[in-house]
A = this chain, B = another copy of it.
Amino acid sequence: MNNPTLKEIASQLGISITTVSKALKGYADVSPLTKKAVINLAKQLNYTPNSFAVNLRTKESKTIGLIIPTLVHDFFSIVIKGVLAEAEKRDYLVIILQSNEKLAFEKKQIELLLNKRVDGILMSLSNETDDFKHLNTIISHGTPLVLFDKIAKLVNCSKVSINDRKAAYDAVCYLINKGYKKIAHFRGSYTPQNSIDRFLGYKKALEDNNIQYDSSLVYLCDHNADFQDGYENAKKVIAEHPEIDAIFAITDLVAFGIIKYFNETGISIPNQIAVLGFSNWFMSSIVTPKLSTINQPGFEIGKQSAIILFDEIKLKRHNAPIVFKSIEIETHIIEREST
């Protein structure tokens, strides 16, 4: 008796399927008495309108896809919250997929979403993603696409991000102004735009302040910039460059690894070495010492990306022209105890 069709309702009441359908849609040419009988029986039978059939007609699924690299990061949980807040307002459903930082997975997830006829896709790229054909498939398919956080500048669609280069530049200038001179950088891998931009911001800040850039002070976090990366690189930098007085880490998670190593080995933060993070994870105000960092407003990024996507879906529905937007969300430095 699951999902009884209109036919079953019609047959039980001895009326036509058209009348049942009209009654459920509230058409005026069906008598109130019939309407009531149809609605009551539909309820009794747990009838739900077949939304897949509706989709065939309206060509909309009221569903969007959201592809994120991985859920381990606090940041993406907050982004999801921002996206869900906007989707809830519009009764849209959100299918969430992870690329697990793999290009191959990312391609597959896109295929699944397009097959599912989602009305639009929000995406933050995997660290591995270095070609963009699969993104162009979405675009040529006519499905609105908004990239956020880890974006590709060359892809022709709307984008929401922070100005990573400026944020990193400001962060390192802040360290220099506080008197730090020998600043190491624990960078992310070589592909993601935000990792490149944070590195370039670091380099430019040194140069603009007449501090010689030294490539041996840049350490690569090649395990997706995680806690272990911070811990291991902290060990390395102390062995190779005990003279450093500050570290600028690509994310708070890497910074937590540094703090753990320094706490274990009795290196005093910030007296011996200052540590500056990036993202302002919830936990950064709880670790000891409390981590200075740059806020990366995940909720706002998720929210703005979703708003743009829903606007584009609406414009597409009305065959109106879509002008792509590139939005930069403001960031600032949060000074705590570690610098």
Residues of A in contact with B (beta carbons under 8 Å apart): 1-3, 46, 48-53, 55-56, 61, 63, 70-72, 74, 77-78, 80-81, 84, 91, 93-98, 112-117, 137, 140-143, 227, 256, 259-260, 263, 282-283, 286-288
Complex contact B51–A117 (CB within 8 A): yes
Give the number of times this chain occurs in the complex, counting copies.
Answer: 2
List 9 A-B residue pairs with CB atoms under 8 Å apart, sorted by A's residue number: A1-B142, A3-B142, A71-B80, A84-B98, A94-B97, A260-B286, A263-B288, A287-B287, A287-B288
Select A95's contact among B46, B56, B95, B259, beta carbons within 8 Å.
B95
Complex contact B116–A96 (CB within 8 A): no
Neighbouring B residues of A72 by C-beta, 8 Å: 77, 81
Residue of B nearest to A112 (CB): B93
Complex contact A94–B96 (CB within 8 A): yes
Complex contact A115–B2 (CB within 8 A): no
Select A55's contact among B52, B140, B227, B282, beta carbons within 8 Å.
B52
Complex contact A115–B49 (CB within 8 A): yes
Select A52's contact among B48, B61, B93, B140, beta carbons within 8 Å.
B61
Residue of B nearest to A93 (CB): B95
Neighbouring B residues of A91 by C-beta, 8 Å: 112
Alpha-carbon gap, A142 to B80, bound state (A): 30
Complex contact B137–A46 (CB within 8 A): yes
Complex contact B52–A56 (CB within 8 A): yes
Give, as a whole number of angstroms, the nearest-CB distance from A196 to chain B.
27
Complex contact B46–A140 (CB within 8 A): yes
Neighbouring B residues of A94 by C-beta, 8 Å: 95-97
Alpha-carbon gap, A74 to B95, bound state (A): 20
19 more A-B contacts (CB under 8 A) besides A48-B115, A51-B117? A1-B142, A3-B142, A46-B141, A48-B117, A51-B116, A52-B52, A52-B55, A52-B56, A52-B117, A63-B116, A71-B84, A72-B81, A81-B98, A93-B113, A94-B95, A95-B95, A227-B282, A259-B286, A260-B286
Complex contact A48–B93 (CB within 8 A): no
